[in-house]
Structure formats: C-alpha cells, structure tokens
Structure 1
Amino acid sequence: MEALKPPLEPQTRTPRFPPSAAQAEFAGEPLKLSRTAQNIRESIRADFHLAPVPDEDIYEASEGRVLTRVHSYRERDRAIVKRKKKSHLKKFGRLQCEACDFDFLEQYGERGEGFIECHHTKPVSDLQPGEKTKLSELVLLCANCHRMVHAARPWWTMEQLRKALEH
C-alpha cells in the first residue's frame, strides 16, 4: 500500500502583474463590487431594449447616470507637450495645426491662445516603459484633424491626413 504523502508547503509566488485598478478599488468591498456589477448589467440591458423612435426630431434620452469606469492608460509627460508648443511658437510665431493650418487664437481670440492638441506620431501604446519620446515625434493638430487621425485603425500618418485635406 502506498504511503500518504505529506501536504505540500504553501508556496508564495510573486504575481506576474501588479493588481489592476479594479482589483485595488474593490478589494475588501464586495458590496461596492456587487452594486457596480449590477449597474453595468442594467446599463447593458437598457441598451438591448431600446424602443423604436418614431420621430428623430423629438427623441429624448436619459443621461447623467453616475457610472464607474476603470481602465488602464498610458502615462503622458505634459512637459514635452509644453516644449513642443514653445518650440513651434518660436519657429513659426503662432500655434497652428500642422495639417490644416487652423489657428485657435486667430479664430477664437484670447480664449484660443495656446490651445492646440499634440499628437504622437509614434503611438504611445507602442512605447515600452521608460522609452523616450522626441520632440520630432510630436505634431500639433487641431481637434478635428487629431480626431480624424484616430478615427479608425490603422491610424493615419501625417501624410495620409494631409492628402485627405487636399480635396
């Protein structure tokens, strides 16, 4: 007859990944987790049971519910964006979209001063932790052009964006 083996010692292991934001937020709070999960389920059900809309002009929608959204995002360095704007301003004397030439200050006056978005030509999602971004990898874009670059994958290059603006 085979002898019984002693139970294995509990092994401590280092997790491969740090706890997610969701795990950290809900750790030890099962009631909060349950309520959030219920809100998510109700939101999904509501989307599946939309009544037909007889007239688009009179359609109303309930909005403003407080939802919890937990996700990871890539770190950005605001200092490099400020340097890009400063460099561009010094070189061109104004901050304009590098694709369509839109100038927020010219269009909106004082309210538009210094306003422009900064696009990474090398996607931040492709960067490895600690990898550096160069000023030459940043492009100043108005909100519309920036939105068009990111409207669908694969994202447009600056050449593709400028070509689309030609017609």
Structure 2
Amino acid sequence: MRDHLKYFIFTILCLCLGLAPANGSIRSEYEVKAAFLYNFTRFVRWSQVVDSTAPLIVCVVGDDPFGELLDPLRGRKSQGRELQLRYPDSTFELTGCDVLYISQSQSRNLPELINLARQEGMLTVSDLPDFIRKGGMLGYVKKGNVIRFEINLKAATEAGLTINSRLLELAVRVLR
C-alpha cells in the first residue's frame, strides 16, 4: 500500500512540475487540481467505452478556473487514449464527454448535471462544497494548504465507472 502511495505522489509531483511554468514559482491550487484531474483519468475505467483508442474527452462546464493550466493535457495519453479538452456552453454540448469538471458557477445546475453525467457514464469532478454528498464522484477538498480529494464510489458505480483501488486508498473519504 505504501508503495502505491509513493508512486501516486511521485506521479503527481512530476506532473505538477511538467505542467507548471519554468519560473519556479510555488504551485497554485489549480495547478495541483489540474495534475489530479489528469491522474484521475489514469485510475478510472469507463465500461461504456466501445473503442479503447477513441479520444478521452475532458469537459469543463461553467466558468473555467484553470485558465491555461489544462492546455498541457491536450494530446497526452491516458490509458492509451488521447486527451482532448472541451468547454461546452450548454448541456446539449455535453454529449461525448468522458470527464465532466463542474465549476462553482454551475452550483445551481448541479442536480441536472450530475443526473446527466450518471446517465452518460461521465466521471464528475468538482471543488464545490459537499460535492460527493450531493452525488458527484470526485470532489476536491482543501486540508490546510493541501489539496486532497474525496470519492463517491456509489455514484461512480451507478454510472458504470470503476475506480482503481489505488485511488480509493488515497482519498480522504470514500462514500460507499
């Protein structure tokens, strides 16, 4: 178990260094969240995927808190699938998303987005307060100055997603 934790933390640190500007500044909260977002794609399996070489589409709905921080993910591979980014303006444009990051500006639409994501087999991620308790799957939480995450395993399973046990071990809380 400790080896898995060391590997995951090492991967996060390497990714943070690779995503960050070269000026050596302290990593911002959203640089860390972007690194986590990439790593989430590596530890989740989508059962509804017919073509394992099809792009893995990460969608950010609402106000984009990442700015350009997700741009380095474009074209990277996760589980043999090329990552693509989309920024849909409406729920009609969410079709085809594999990962749905729900920004804070979408808190009013949260029940609708979570329901749609579950039906479509999308992994939901957000930093909205109590996100996993409200039916989201992976929620960022801040513990002091450290960004961690919680998992709603039941919601993921209902959407046809399988979360790797290594990721479950690293969560600060898992709802089953």
TM-score, normalisation: structure 2: 0.21
Radius of gyration: which is bigger?
A: 1
More helix by share: 1
TM-score, normalisation: structure 1: 0.22
